[in-house]
Structures are given as structure tokens and as C-alpha cells.
Amino acid sequence: MLEAMLNGLVLVFQWPAIGFLMLGIVIGMWMGAVPGLGGIIGLVLLLPFTFEMDPVPAFALLLGMYAVTSTSDTIASVMLGIPGTSASQATVLDGYPLAKMGQAARAFGAAFTVSAFGGVVGALIMAASLPILLPMILAFGVPEFFFLAVLGLTMVGALAGGSIFKGLTVAALGLLLTAVGYADSTGVPRFTFDQPYLLENLPIIPIVLGLFALPELLEMAVKNTSIARIEASDSKDATLMAGVRDVIKHWWLTVRCALLGTYVGMLPGLGVSIVDWIAYGHAVQSAKDKSKFGQGDIRGVIAPEAANNATKAGALIPMIAFGIPGSLGTAILLGALVIKGLRPGPEMLIDHIDLTFSMIWDIVIANLVAAGLLMIWSKQVAKVSFLPGHLLVPGVVVFVLMGAWLASAAIGDWISVIAFGFLGYWMKQGGWPRPPLILALVLGKLMEDNLLLSLQVYDNFTWITGRPIVLVIIALIVLTIYLAVKGVIKANNTPKDQNAVIAGEGSGRNPLMSLPLTLFLLAIFIAAPIGGREWEFESQQFPLVVSVTSIIMLIFILIADIREARADIKEQRGFGPALAASLNKADFHRSASFIGYLIAILFASIVIGQQIALPLFVAIYLWRWGHYNWKICIGYALAAWIFIFGFYDQIMHLFFYQSVLFG
């Protein structure tokens, strides 16, 4: 085994393998940092270039790129509050508040250090665990996968926000949205409203960018503030080395979360999606002092970042050992193996053991190199958090809209990103947490398929009561809810300035904004089963269970919202003054104006094309909102056009919308 490990290392450092590995690392850092790209798109773009390559340099290029996207995605999570990939959702909860406090460099220092550690530990554990993992992976059947997904949703619903009911209802909304499109079990189209765009399910990228990116950009535009809410001179102590010292201080948490990431990442289809939330939940529940989570606790960055990098190695295990892809990324890598004439299974562990270990070394080296390079560059990146908001907003809007366009290159992508941007703004103002919706979108199809299979394969409730692992997971779900309820009760009896939830995701208190959203969601969950009453029974089951459960929770939320709204009306001495105060608190009029600009981009793109509409928006925004001179407006707009044309058109060869005037 030791000889095979050394031979694998020698293969990696031979030319041209090492050159392709470094090229993959650079491409992966870019793919992870730009919202909407990520490792999957990177693999799709690079795979054709590997067809004529030998296996070792081919996988050096692919794994070098893929392994580091969950390191560089921290940049968007911390700086913009956007999950750069699905693996960095939990990082947003504390990473973005740290950037608002002017401590982006500290967050980067901690994140990149634990990312390197997690990637290395995950790869080494993978190498050591190869011979003993078959029984563990095979012990998980469809019931276990279903309840593991429920555990992930419970954790995010309970941890993200001040109301457990609101968190779980948002998760249920995400599950209902996954029912849009063809049902896998019957092929029946559901909730499509005769729109072809909806037949293949709602794409997740526009929803993520809309929910998280646009509300934060809207706030910067309306309040004319930088990402950091303090002066640069007040954050001199928040350096990269401060983040490294934080990791040393919390070394035991780092080790535990790296182990969690490796072993949870081995679970096909689920590990990569939920591991950052399991690690975040573990960090919260194991901490003695929970008061800072959600408002800038460095442990909330360390835990998910240590775990999500370790999953990349863990997810390779079922692919290499059993031919079971654990995620979409490993499915593409499995295709690359087949293209090279390699067969996953014992052959990879006996006849091609040197190649297998070279893949492990690719991940180790990629994580170390990427972390080092990002540590060097992140000091400059962190300075962006102190730039004026009006300079950042138009450029990031271009990234967000083009990132959304990558989903399916249809105008529906932009309609989705704007609609969910408004929903994200509404949720943020009303105190509804947003992360549960995204995780539910990732897990919804898997949950529905595993639930239906469990009901079909097992008699009665034996799929629950007769499987020990299922009972253990159910116990963890109950424990999670108990600890969350206990934490909320304790928080409600704590002075507000010490209450973690008040300053974190889902912390807004504006009952006259929350109440209409509650009624809107109640109407959706009532209408959903009514609209599906003519479907086949299997197609109805999942939406019906989700809707009924949500209606029950929404009744409690509605009662609480009405009580708080009445208190506000009484305090303001009338509904009119209370509504005016509520809209003023939400900056509603300026926010509506910004959303109007986004809608104008949509219509302008239909008429004159995206390559003209987006630079035109940049120039008009800088002139009307930022009050910059014409030289800056035209120069910025020209730079935006060069980037759109050079990267998205000439390099990625995207199909742009066929405009009315210019085609």
C-alpha cells in the first residue's frame, strides 16, 4: 500500500501531469469564485479536452479544477452573501456578517486554512479507508437516504432563523418547488401552467442567485453602503493571520468537521448537499457559547469549510470502489473513467492502484496550492469590501444575471432570478430564513424518489421501525428539534443584544411585511393539492404531504404574525401610520425602483439584446444612482461589454437571447 501511494505521488509530479494539475487549479479557483459557474460547469467544459490525453494528466486537470471550487467559492459567500456553490450555503450565515464587520480577511484566513486541512485529511482518510468501506456504504438503503435528507432539512430549518416554524415552512416551499416539472415516478407534468420552461424543473442557479445576491445588492444600492459597514481603519486587527490563529484555537472543531465531511461525503447523492449544514449544526450544538452564531462567529465559517472540502475525496470512494457516483460531479468523473477504458470496482483497487492514488494526491496537492494562492490574493480581495456600494452593484448585477443565464440559456432564467430576488427581499424583511429553500431544492427530488421507493418496497412501516440506522437518524432529528426549541426559548429570555438569532439570517422583525408573505404561502400550499387532484396517486403523494404539513405550521405562524401586527398598529396608533413605518423600515419605494431597473434590463434584452442591455444598465445606474461622471460611466460599461463578449461569448460560447432588433 505504501509503495502504491509513493508511485501515485511520482505519477502526479511527472510532466505533463503536474502542469495540467496547476492549470486545473487556476481554472477551478476562477470557476468557484464567479457566481453561477462552479465545479460542474468546469468539468463539462474541460472533459472534451481530455479525450486524447493519458489518464494521469487527464485526471490531474479534472480533479485539480474540481477539488478547489469548494475553496474559492468562499469568496462569493463571504463578500456577497451568495453561496458560490451548494457546498458553501452554511458559510454565508457567519461569513457575510464578518465581511459586514470589516473582517473579510479574517474569514478568508480561517476558511482557506481549514479548506486545505479538510481537503488533505479527506484524501488521506479516503486512502486509509478504501478496504473497509463496502459494508458501511451498503448499509444505507433508500429509507436511510430519505431520513438523512430530512435530518439535513431539519438542521437548516431549525438553525437558520429565529422561528423554527418559518424555517421548516421555507424548506417545505423548496420541496414543493421541486415538484414543478415531470414527476419521475409517473412522467406526469406538475405545476407547469403550460410553460415549456417549467417542464424540466426549476433550475437551481437562478433561484440561488435571486434569493441571496439580489437582496444584498439591493440593500447596497438603496443605502449607498459598502459591503463592510465600518471604515477600513477600524478593521486593522481582522487580518488573514487572525483567521489562521482562530483555526489553531478551534483545532478540535476543525478535525471533527473534516472527519464528518469525509464520511458523510461518501453517501451517494446526499453527502455533498447536506454536509456543510451537518457540520454547522454540530458546531452550534457543541458550543458552550452560542450567542454569536449567525452574526459573525468565526466557528460558523470553520465548521462548514472544513467539512465541504473533505467531501470531494469522500465522494470519490463510492465512484472508484463501486461505480456509484455520489454527486453530479463524480458522475462526470465516472464518465471520464469509462472514456479512458477504466472500470470502477476491484480493478481500480488492484490493477490500477497507482492511478487511484495519483487521484488522491491530485486532491491533496490541489487543496494545498489553492489555499496558498488564495491566502496571497485574498488580502486584496478583502479590500473590495470597503469600496463604495454604487461601484460594486452594477458589476455584480452583470455577474449575477449572466450566472443565472448559464442555467438553461432561456429568458425564463432571468424571470426566475428577478422573481426570486423580490421573494428574497420580502423574506429578508419579514424575518423568513432563505437557506432552507435552497437545500430543499437540492434534496427534494431525492427525498420524493426515496420516499416512494420505501413505501413500495417495504410493508407497512417496517422501513422505519425495522432498520436500526433509520431509528438512529430519527433520534438525531428529534434531538435537533429539541435543542433548537430549547435555544429559541433561551434566546427569547435573553437581552436582545446577546441574542444570536436577532442579528442573523431570518432575523428581521417587520410583521406587516411578514403577514402578507404568510398569507401568500398559505394560499400556495392550499392551492397545490387542489391543482393536483387529477394526477395519478403517486404524483400527488409528495406534494400533498408537504402541503398539509406546511398548512399546519403556517396557521401557527399566522397567529404569531397577527399578534405582532396588532401590537405594531397599536404602537403606531393606526393601520395607516403602521403600514407607512413598515414600508419605510423596508426601504420599499427605493427597493421597488431597483427591482424596476432589473425588469427594464429584461425587456431591453428582448428588444435590443443582452450584450447591449447589460452595459447600458451599468452606464445608466452609475449615472442615475451613483452620480458618477460620464467618463466613469462609459468606461465601466465598456469594460462590462468586453467581459460579456470575451468570456461568455468567445470563451464559453453561450447562446444569447435572439433580440427583436438585432437577433
Please state whether the peptide bond connecting residue 16 to the residue before it is cis, i.e. omega within 30 degrees of 0.
yes
558 in a structural domain: no
Q: Is residue 203 part of a domain?
A: yes
Domain boundary pick from 488, 509, 530: 509
Specify if 298 maps to a domain. Answer: yes
The answer to whether residue 531 is domain-embedded is: no
Tell which of 475, 509, 543 closes a domain. Answer: 509
Are 470 and 464 in contact by the 8 Å Cβ rule? The answer is yes
Q: CB pairs under 8 A, 24+ apart, for 478-486?
A: 480/151, 480/154, 480/155, 480/158, 480/281, 480/285, 481/154, 481/158, 481/164, 483/158, 483/285, 484/158, 484/159, 484/164, 485/164
What is residue 54's predicted lDDT score, i.e. its pLDDT?
Answer: 84
Quick check: is 562 in a domain?
no
Tell me whether strands 181-182 and 189-190 are parallel, antiparallel or unpaired.
Answer: antiparallel
**For residue 162, what pLDDT is reported?**
65
Whether 24 is covered by a domain: the verdict is: yes
496 and 602 belong to one structural domain: no
8-state DSSP, 248? H
pLDDT at 350: 67
- Integer Cα distance of 51 and 340 in angstroms: 8
* Domain housing 623: 588-651
For 178, the 3-state DSSP assignment is: coil
Compute the mean pLDDT over every residue in the chain, rounded to the nearest whole number: 81
Domain total in the chain: 2
Together in a domain, 117 and 246: yes
Residues 179 and 328 in one domain: yes
Task: Mark which of 509, 542, 562 sits at the end of a domain.
Answer: 509
- Note whether residue 72 is domain-resident: yes
Domain match, 612 and 489 both: no
Rounded Cα distance between 337 and 66, Å, is 15
Q: Which residue type sits at 331?
A: A
Residues 503 and 617 in one domain: no
What are the residues facing 182 on neighbouring strands? Answer: 189
The three-class DSSP label of residue 532 is: coil
Residue 368, domain member (yes or no): yes
pLDDT in tens, 559-608: 999 999 999 898 888 888 889 988 888 888 989 999 999 999 999 999 99
What pLDDT score does 496 carry?
46
Let me know whether 297 and 434 are in one domain: yes
Q: Tell me the backbone φ, ψ of residue 21, rounded to 5 degrees.
A: -65, -45
363 and 475, same domain (yes or no)? yes
Considering the domain architecture, whether residues 498 and 602 belong to the same structural domain is answered as no
In this structure, the answer to whether residues 304 and 396 fall within a common structural domain is: yes
- Residue ranges of the chain with pLDDT lower than 50? 496-503
Q: Give 159's Cβ-side CA count (13 Å radius).
A: 33
Quick: pLDDT tens for 417-438: 999 999 999 998 888 888 888 8
Pair 624, 612: CB distance under 8 Å: no
Q: Based on the domain organization, do 302 and 163 belong to the same domain? A: yes
